[in-house]
Chains A and B, each alone.
Chain A
Amino acid sequence: GQNIDQPTEMTATEGAIVQINCTYQTSGFNGLFWYQQHAGEAPTFLSYNVLDGLEEKGRFSSFLSRSKGYSYLLLKELQMKDSASYLCAVKNSNYQLIWGAGTKLIIKP
């Protein structure tokens, strides 16, 4: 079967750095996405990785290792507004998006 694994919940402190991991097993690979979802709202796109390595976008970075079936989302200089769920999703060989259950990130002052 196909599955995406990510931690259910993480806690971090305002101003700190947090890394949210995602491992995947899919039938083929056509890219990995990270989305942010605030409680009660729709997911919004954060990043896309298709080649190995690190993609940086301001305070957020996303890393991919295709050989290991692994990605992480790195959030720096955490702010209270970063409290949200972070969803990892992989496009398989049929261009179907396989979604993880999401990681709820709690930021404490």
Chain B
Amino acid sequence: SQTIHQWPATLVQPVGSPLSLECTVEGTSNPNLYWYRQAAGRGLQLLFYSVGIGQISSEVPQNLSASRPQDRQFILSSKKLLLSDSGFYLCAWSATGDSGANVLTFGAGSRLTVL
């Protein structure tokens, strides 16, 4: 069966510090991978998605970046955090290819507080 791991679960960072959130998927090959951010009372905002190693699509211009160094590894980074980067970050995967029925499965999430 497939599992998705995301860490760290919580972190408190000062403004201007770097960020690295990591996500790995087990039990599948060539998954589609996603990073979302969820602000309180708002819908999930897609930040990045990837259909393969080294292929990253950015949905929202910001000071965040993503990388996919291995097939089942997805990393969200920032060189200098802003207060507005605080939020709940979710990694997710779905089966490869476009299909209406492909279900998104989420990692446990990372709660980021920037002070």
Residues of A at under 8 Å CB distance from B? 4, 8, 30-31, 33, 40-45, 48, 50, 87, 89, 91, 95-97, 99-102
Contact = CB atoms under 8 A, between A and B. Distances in A.
A101 B90 contact: no
Question: Interface range on chain B: under 10, 10 to 19, 20 to 34, or 35 or more?
Answer: 10 to 19
A87 B44 contact: yes
A102 B109 contact: no
Given A41-B109, A43-B106, A4 B101 contact: no
Q: Is the interface of B mostly helix, strand, loop or mixed?
A: loop
Interface of B: 41-44, 46, 90, 98-101, 103-109, 111
Given A42-B90, A42-B107, A101 B41 contact: yes
Contact of B108 (A41, A50, A96, A101): A41
Contacts of B106: 42-44
B109 A101 contact: no
B66 to A, nearest CB: 17
Given A4-B43, A95-B98, A48 B103 contact: yes
B109 A31 contact: no
